Amino acid sequence: MNEDLEKKLVVACREGDRSASAKLAKHYSGRIYAICLGMLRHRENAEDIAQQALLKALTNIKQLRDDEQFGSWIARIAKNLCIDFIRKQKHKQNCIVEPAAASQRDPKEYPELQAALAKLSEEHRLALMLFYFDGRSTRNIAKTLEISEALAQKRLSRARKKLRNLLETARGV
């Protein structure tokens, strides 16, 4: 989605146009899910929190000051909700959220991949998730994480290398 169209949708959404809200929800759901999955490492929880984040942003869009910053604004909302969720879980269980067990329908590599992803640092995991879930674009990573494109590229590159090492170790290569 180009920036002009996004801005128009944000304005329309603020004025109560639900079809604009739906378009924004559709466009951002992958990105927001990627952020939540990157932070929570748990697919069901990530789905719940992504849903909450999108709803919270779209129902409170009047509080957005700069229409051009919708992407980073909604990303911050998602991050805040993830932090709250982790804190609540810690409080409840006194332990961190563990990655969910793989579904039986998953290919056999997924548990291995998920275990390796869980061992990455949060910033590396986020870079990978955003790249693969949100249009393979380093520009999107940069915009979402509010960093430069060069840094996003560097982070992605490092994440790929670390993931390779972790997968190799897991496979005993």
Partner 1 sequence: MKNTCEKVRKQVPELITGTLPAEQVDEIWEHLSRCAECEAYQKALEADDRLLVDFAESAQPRIQRITENVISALEQEDTLQEFAVRTIKGASGRRLSKLAAAVIIAAVVMILAHFTDFFGVSAPAYDMRHLPRLAKEARSVHMRYKFYFDPSEYGKHLPPIPMELWIDLSGYRLRETYYAERYARGKLTAILTAEGISNGGYFMYMDKVEKAVKFTRMSDYQTMYKAYRRLSSIFRSYAGIDFFRDFQYMGREEIDGVEYDVWENEVQTGKGKKKTRWRDKYWVSPVTHEPVRSETWKLKSKRKGLWPFASGGKWVLHCKYDKIEWNIPIPDEVFAFEVPDGYEYWSTMETAPLTDLDELGDMDYKSAVLNPRCNFTLADGSVIMAWSSENKPATESQEALFKSLKVGGDVPPLPLEAYSLKPYIPKADVTYHGRHLAYTQKQGHFIEWSIYVPDGPPPKHCEETRYEVIFRFNYPPPDWRTSPQSLGDGIVIESAEDFDRWVLGAMAELSDSGVPPRDLTYEGVLALSKQIAYELAKR
Binding site for partner 1 (CB under 8 A): 18, 21-22, 25-26, 29-30, 32-33, 37, 43, 47, 50-52, 54-60, 62-63, 65-66, 69, 72-73, 76-77, 80-81, 83-84, 87-88, 106-107, 109-110, 113, 121, 123-124, 128, 131-133, 136, 138, 146, 151, 153-158, 160-161, 163-164, 167-168
For the bound state, the minimum distance from the C-beta of residue 20 to partner 1, rounded and expressed in Å, comes to 11
Q: From the CB of 167, what's the least distance to partner 1, in Å? A: 7
Structure tokens, 77: 């909302």
Q: In Å, how far are 31, 56, 65, 117, 135 from 69, measured between CA atoms?
A: 15, 16, 8, 29, 19
Cβ-contact 138, 147 below 8 angstroms: no
Closest CA to 75 of 62, 56, 88: 56
Please state the length of the chain.
Answer: 173
Closest separation in Å from C-beta 8 to partner 1: 18
> Other CB atoms closer than 10 Å to residue 58's CB: what's the count?
18
Q: What is the smallest separation between the CB atom of 56 and partner 1, expressed in angstroms?
A: 6
Give which of 27, 35, 29 is closest to 83, Cα–Cα: 35
